[in-house]
Chains A and B, each alone.
Chain A
């Protein structure tokens, strides 16, 4: 004998299908307009505006990054991928002796680096226990990938400052890790 579904059963089945359709929507990834619309203004002796593709076309630096807040909260460790700040500055004339690099973000945050810091010097470094340790060679990068993935907004994406080293477990002070960077200026 041929069986037929009752209306209530049909509703249940449709509801189940709809649920699975919604569930599948939870896991899909769409192109990120935040990244696509991001632009970086770089001002020195000349001016340039970089897109994410422009940034990624520059030589990449990989390293270990780990930072700590003023109150001792640690963020990381991360593997970081980005572009050395010196290479970005070089696009607009570079950074000379006595000049500084002002890095800012649309949330109103600004941090300033000098040439020594661009060369990886003058940072305070800690181990996992927040005990100070001699600083290994460091690089300031504009990071666009963290742990192999595009940098999320909550982590300061599309691009943020990271201070990285080849050696894992080196913690630096977080005040310099500017999030959501959209402007770099070379100033006298």
Chain B
């Protein structure tokens, strides 16, 4: 074989080795994606509407892969602030959490995690039930608090330590005492069914509910689960009769529900002063970055973009899309925000 042929052969072998090396090396690192990921971390009660939005957004943004991850609202923010994960959009079920937890400097960038948020929807608490629920054919807006207090009726709500819907359920029950002038309602329905003391104290117009560290009911009257999806499963199976839920979640699951007066449902800015009269103190500081105290306030959802978001422009487009769709009042979505409802 002549010199030029051999030269060509060696060159080919060398090139092949380099190419194999490149291919193998690429296997050591993340695969190059053909799509742009848009990381959205959202509160659990937003997952169903955001799943709809994901499909719609991707349909008009070819090459974008919307990746939605759900947590409780505080955990949503902690993914960015405490666990230092990258996210393009943060969406929570309590607008106050954004300034409380994100208006502080990032360790590396020297600027705040964010300095703004967009309030975009509201919600209200309802009493959800099915046709398996005891007294389902009797319950209505006038007698709901009496029905759930009846012996044998089981009430579910999510863990106040983990889920805003959980401490909001306690607030609703306390507000209902005043609304219906029934000073024993909270005891009958909730406090009497825990082995550890739930301390309820009143100072002026403010009532404080102090929870124990362990929230485990002593009987079947009250059922507590980590998240609302587990309550909904129990409700469907007849394991509980009623659940304190967000209206949008009940709508999304096609559940029957009793709506509550605006003065107690945490859904109206007009009653913000009244809601503030109830405070829940959690049994222990689950997160060191936020205190144990949760005060009653109108439910307002909010979105923001962390300062270190990989795709802030795309994030903004997604936020604008959610806001515009939310304003339409879509079924199963949190309600459009009333004028002036945000803090």
Contact = CB atoms under 8 A, between A and B. Distances in A.
Interface of A: 1, 3, 5-6, 8-9, 12-13, 15-16, 19-20, 22-23, 26-27, 69-73, 100, 102, 107-112, 114, 117, 122, 124, 130-132, 173-175
A19 B21 contact: yes
Interface of B: 3, 6-7, 10-11, 14-15, 17-18, 21-22, 24-25, 28-29, 44, 47, 69-72, 75, 78, 82-83, 158-159, 161-163, 213-214, 216, 225-227, 229-230, 233-234, 237, 239, 283-289
A72 B229 contact: yes
Given A23-B24, A72-B229, 15 more contacts: A1-B3, A3-B7, A9-B10, A16-B17, A19-B22, A72-B227, A108-B289, A110-B286, A110-B287, A112-B214, A124-B226, A130-B230, A131-B233, A175-B162, A175-B226
Nearest to A14: B14
A5 B9 CA distance: 11
Contact of A102 (B21, B226, B237, B284): B284
A118 B159 CA distance: 20
B159 A69 contact: no
Contact of B214 (A20, A69, A100, A109): A100
Nearest to B286: A110
21 contacts: A1-B3, A8-B11, A9-B7, A9-B10, A12-B11, A12-B14, A12-B17, A15-B21, A16-B14, A19-B21, A23-B25, A69-B70, A69-B71, A70-B71, A70-B75, A72-B70, A73-B69, A107-B83, A130-B229, A174-B226, A175-B162
Contact of B233 (A71, A109, A130, A174): A130
A1 B7 CA distance: 13
A68 to B, nearest CB: 8
Contact of A175 (B78, B159, B288): B159
B287 A19 contact: no
Contacts of B72: 70-71
B10 A108 contact: no
